[in-house]
Structure formats: C-alpha cells, structure tokens
Amino acid sequence: MHKRLYRTVESLLERIDHSAGDENMLLEILHLLVEGEEAQSFGVDSGRLYREEDANYLLIESIGEYGAAIAGKTISKSYQVVQDIERRRLWVISPETPGFDPELEAQFSGRDTAAILVGRDPAYILSLGLTHHGSEEDLLVLLETIRASVGLKLKEQALASQMRQAQIIQHSLVPPTLPTLDGFDIAAASVPADDVGGDVYDVQEVEIDVLGLMMADASGHGLPAALQARDVVIGMRMGQAEGEKITATIGRLNRVINQTSLASRFISLFYAELEKSGNIAYVNGGHCPPLLITEEDHVFELKTCGPVLGPLPDAVYRRGYLRLGPGEILVVFTDGVTERHDPSQGEVTDDIEDFGRDRLVQAVIEGRDQPAEEIAADIIQRVREFGNRSPLDDDVSVMVIKRMPAASYLPAEDLTRVSVETRR
C-alpha cells in the first residue's frame, strides 16, 4: 500500500510546472490534491494554502467547502495548533487536538484537517480537508509522503533557479560582440556540457589598438566550475582596468583562487595582449597550448608559462612572445575540443581515439579562407559530429584570431619564431 502511495504522489507531482515559482507550484499541487483523480483515494475534498506573513499566516487560496470566499483571512502564529504545525511540520487537526479553538477553526473548515508545513522565507501551510482517512498510520504515511515529495520539488525548484541565475551571470560576462582590431578577424564560440559551464572567454580593449584575449577552463563543469570561471573573468578585467602587467594580474588571481577554492579544484588560463602590429605577449597558465598556423600550414604551439591557477599559491608566471603574421591564424581552445571521443567506442581508455590536435588543425587549414566566425563554428560542428552528436562530456570552447593577408607586417628584431618543440 505504501509503495503504491509513493508512486501515486510522485505521479501527481510529475505533472507540476516547476518553472512557475514556489508559490505557483504549491498552488498547482493544492489543486491536484483536491481536484485531481487521486483526491478520492486520498480522502481529500477541500484544501487551503497559507503563506507566512510576519506574525500570521495569510490564507491565499481556498478550494472546496467554503471556497474563495474565505481567502484573505489570517491565523496567528500564537495559536497553539499553528505552533504545533511549525514544530512537527505535519499535523492532523480535529476537535480532540490540544489547543483546538472551535470558533476559530469554524471560519476555515468544518472537517478534520491534515496540515503540512513546507518551504521557508516564507513558509507555507498546505491544509487538506479530510472526508475520511482510515487508520492514523496510513494518514501519517500519506502526509509524510506528500511533505517529503513537495519538499524535494521545492529544493529542485531552488536549484533550477540558481542554475538560471548562474546562466544569466555567465552570459552577462561573455561579450555580446567582440571588439575589433584593424587587420584582424576574431571570433569565439563556447558550448557547455551542462546548463552552465566552466569554460569562459573574453575579449577586451585594454588600450588603443591593443586587445586582451582570454580563455579559461575550470576543472569539472556545471555550477561550481561556472562560478569559478566567473571569478576569473572579473579578476582579469580588474587587472586590465588598473593597467597591471599580465604576469602580476595572473599571479594575484592565482593566489585568490588558492585561498578561496577547494584543494581539488583548479583553472587553466591563457591570456594574450594582441597589438595592431601583430605582436603578442601572452601567459599560458597550464592551458592547452594554442596553435599558430602559418600560411604554409606549419604549426607552432604556445607552450605553458606556468602551472594551472589554484594549487600553488606562490606559482611564478612568465610571458611568452610571438608575432602573428599576415595570413596566419591563432587558435585558442579548451581540452573539451581535443579530448572529445566517440562514446560508441566504449569506455574511455588510452586506446580510444579522440578528436585530437590534428583534426583541429585540419579544420583550420580547410577553412582558412572563411571568416573567423565560420571557422570557429565549423570546429564546434566537427567536434559534435566526431562524437556522433552524443551529449558532450566536457565544455567545448574555441577562439580564432586571424590576421588578414593584406595586413602590413612590421619587423621586430627582438621577436623570433622557434620550433614547436622549443616554443615556451
């Protein structure tokens, strides 16, 4: 009997629109409990929903029995029956209940009542008028089942609300349009594995004819990773606004993350400042080495200049330098791109083929004559197709910085190109 009751209550609650907000959800639950096809088996023929307001509970909905005519009435928290409901969280009210006030109760119902306290700030009392309730044990099982299930749905609602807020925050940090720099075509794209992701990118003008380019990847994905990624964006923008050297900004950010994060969490980061001349100063904090692809299809990696941010508070970060020449393309990406695998191959092992660097390079080479936006979109598309369009295991992000072939090439004796094996 109890298993059937649980299934019945769960079936009822599955019909609820969880996006409507706590109060609307509780109102919908009340209507289903009183008017739904299960109401007769529950022994319920009327119901009321009260909302906590200061020293009282305000009746905001009444169904059956006295109906809407009594909506707006209040009942004091000082009433012993209400105090028992708050203390026990579920309570069966009848003339034999301690502290029962017949005159007061008659304003709301002439039947025995089952009351359930749910939620907080404000709390709500869900009150059900009972035509019959069989044994006391069965009634308490019913009440506890409803209370636990409604409580779970409220928690799910709160989590969903937090996720929506995190999405809003994360979307607000991504530039709706990227700043432009004469002679360059820049685009970025990011697809989270969950509702929110731990990947984040940013492009900001740090001074005239200089853009700051950033991509970061927090360990894991979902809400914790998204919040950590948000902190990195804010920290980098503060450093840019104050005109700090990039190594100083990243070093300070690393210490902040170390002091505020779990020891098991970290974030990789690539940050570069691109000048109109094509000169780039960058710091790679444990991030996937970005790829520079020349007009001749040679490939160079921008190696790390320090560890991931978080684990080591005294980590040292050094700058690297390169020149992006006319017709060359720099691709910055997260490991969700190169480590994407086809789940049909089975469990991920060292023998399972992933998307890899070579496929990424091939996508850029084949699309080099296309706008940066199309190159980025094509990379995302290829990553999805490589996994047979199965759900992503990790966030996928890519940024394409393309120097137009017609752009002037300014010499700089102090900047030299080195091989992929030695570039740091």
**pLDDT tens digits for range 83-141:** 999 998 888 888 999 999 999 999 999 888 888 888 888 999 999 888 765 556 666 66
In this prediction, residues 59-75 reach a mean pLDDT of 95
Q: What is the pLDDT of residue 406?
A: 66
Whether 249 shows a pLDDT value over 80: the answer reads yes
For residue 266 the two structure tokens come to 């970290």
For residues 97 and 8, the model is more confident at: 97
CA distances 164 to 15, 161, 226, Å, are: 21, 5, 12
Between CA 144 and CA 52 the distance in angstroms is: 21
CA–CA distance, 51 with 74 (Å, rounded to integer): 9
Structure tokens at 292: 């520079």
Q: pLDDT at position 38, please?
A: 65
Same structural domain for residues 93 and 212?
A: no
Q: What is the pLDDT of residue 422?
A: 31
Query: Minimum mean pLDDT among 5-19, 110-124, 286-300: which range?
Result: 5-19
Q: Let me know if residue 410 belongs to a domain.
A: no
pLDDT value of residue 414? 37
Cα distance between residue 184 and residue 212, in whole Å: 13
- The answer to whether residues 151 and 228 belong to one domain is no
| Residue with more model confidence, 168 or 111 | 111
14: pLDDT strictly greater than 70 = no
The Cα 254–Cα 249 span in angstroms is 9
Domain check: are 152 and 264 in the same one? no
Judged against a pLDDT cut of 60, whether residue 246 lies above it is answered with: yes
**pLDDT-derived band of residue 228, with 50, 70 and 90 as boundaries?**
confident
**Residue 51 CB: number of other CB atoms within 10 A?**
18
Task: Supply the mean pLDDT for the chain.
Answer: 83
Give this prediction's pTM: 0.63
Mark whether 121 and 189 lie in a shared domain.
Answer: no
User: Are residues 288 and 237 part of one domain?
Assistant: yes
Question: Which of 45-49, 322-326, 344-348, 375-379 shows the lowest mean pLDDT across its residues?
Answer: 344-348
- Residue 422 maps to a domain: no
pLDDT band at 407 (very low <50, low <70, confident <90, very high): very low
Identify the pLDDT of residue 105.
Answer: 93
Per-residue confidence (pLDDT) for residue 420, from 0 to 100:
35
Please tell me the distance from the alpha carbon of residue 327 to that of residue 335, in angstroms, as a whole number.
26
148, 165, 182: which is the final residue of a domain? 165
Place of tokens 């170390």: 258
Domain region containing 73: 2-165
Query: Are both 158 and 211 inside the same structural domain?
Result: no
Residue 408 pLDDT class (50, 70, 90 cuts): very low
pLDDT band for position 16 (50/70/90)? Answer: low
The domain tally of the chain equals 2
Per-residue pLDDT tens for 410-420? 443 333 333 33
pLDDT at residue 20 is higher than 70: no
Q: Are residues 144 and 211 in the same domain?
A: no
Q: How many whole angstroms from its chain centre is CA 53? A: 32
The share of the chain scoring above pLDDT 90, in percent, equals: 49
Query: Is residue 151 domain-shared with residue 188, that is, in the same domain?
Result: no
- What whole-number distance in Å separates Cα of residue 322 and Cα of residue 272? 10
The CATH number assigned to the domain holding 308 equals 3.60.40.10
**104 and 226, same domain (yes or no):** no
Specify the pLDDT at position 262: 55
The arrangement of strands across the sheet holding 267-275 comes to 199-207, 210-218, 267-275, 279-285, 320-323
Give the residue-averaged pLDDT of 182-204: 89
Q: Which range (22-26, 246-250, 321-325, 376-380) has the least confidence?
A: 22-26
